[in-house]
Amino acid sequence: MLRSHDRFRFSPITARPDFSWPDGRRLAIHVSLNLEHFSYGEGLGISWSSGIPHPNTYNWAWREYGNRVGVWRLLDLFDEFKLPISLLLNSEVYDHAPEVVAAFRARGDEVVGHGRTNSEHQNDFDEAGEAKLIADVTAAIARHEGRKPTGWLSPGVNPSSVTPDLLQEAGYRYILDWPMDDQPVWMRTRKGRILSVPYPQEVNDIPMIALHHGTADAFADMMIANFDEMLRQSKKQSLVYGIALHAFIMGQPFRIAALRRAFAHLTKASDATWFATTGAIADHFVAHGPKET
């Protein structure tokens, strides 16, 4: 037998109990924006100038463009289409760029835990160190937002083998680290369970543009094609369609028009779709979805 994670059993999507999203809608859509801050000279994160020794100013400044410029362009676009946003937040951004988080707070968007900084991954720590990392992030978000976060995406989407356990024990209700399904999936933890909400590996600007060298129009075409097919498939079963963005990539001026074209297409079928935050999706599934997956 191959080694197993022992978090969930295999379950074909075609053989599950039926459920619907609010008002009988069948396709839930979340737009998740990664807002990150990096330690200067310590690296990590995708690089378009790999091989340059640290301090790699070119790569750090490229990421910082997202906080200083790109995110504001995206905020205008989110307002244009009245999109709720799941803000996947490095808690160090509170000290580094508080104005950015305040802008999302004013919109009523959800803040999701995304580590302290993407300059460190949870696999860098032993269990006690990772537990402290999670506690630090939780406390920072609670202090600034007035409530604890309920969802988490690991920095670099690189959780450790005990991340689900530590999150559940810290009071988190859902996790975004496991892109294995188009529906939420209950995951076992050592003291209970935590919900996995679908987060995209494919409809994600990092792999599509930074790794696979796709164009902005190709990314928009991907968003539209994924939407059209998932809308068709959702007649058989309710689905979750996630879109992952990074401000330093899609906030570049020459990519904005393509993203606007995609959002214009996605928002046309409002009678069959539900744009929601990842937390709202998790809450509805807990209340109305299958109790076992």
Residue 119 covered by a domain: yes
Q: Is the pLDDT of residue 58 over 90?
A: no
Residue-range definition of the domain harbouring residue 250: 27-288
Domain count, the chain: 1
**How many other C-beta atoms can be found within 10 angstroms of the C-beta atom of residue 251?**
25
Q: How far apart are CA 231 and CA 254, in angstroms?
A: 28
Contacts of 278 (CB under 8 A, 6+ apart): 30, 32, 86, 110, 112, 151, 174, 176, 197, 199, 242
What share of the chain in percent tops pLDDT 90? 85
Residue 18 lies in a domain: no
Q: Residue 67 contacts by C-beta under 8 Å, 6 or more apart in sequence?
A: 35, 37, 93, 96, 97, 100, 247, 248
135-194, pLDDT tens digit by residue? 999 999 999 999 999 999 999 999 999 999 999 999 999 999 999 999 999 999 999 999
Q: Is residue 190 in some structural domain? A: yes
Give start and end residues of each alpha helix (H) in 57-97.
Answer: 57-65, 71-80, 93-96
The CATH code of the domain that includes 99 is 3.20.20.370
Structure-token pair, residue 265: 């297409």
Please report whether residue 139 resides in a domain: yes
Neighbouring C-beta atoms of residue 189, cutoff 10 Å: 18
Let me know if residue 134 belongs to a domain: yes
| Within-domain flag for 81 | yes
In a domain, residue 4? The reply is no
Structural domain includes residue 222? yes
pTM score, whole prediction: 0.95
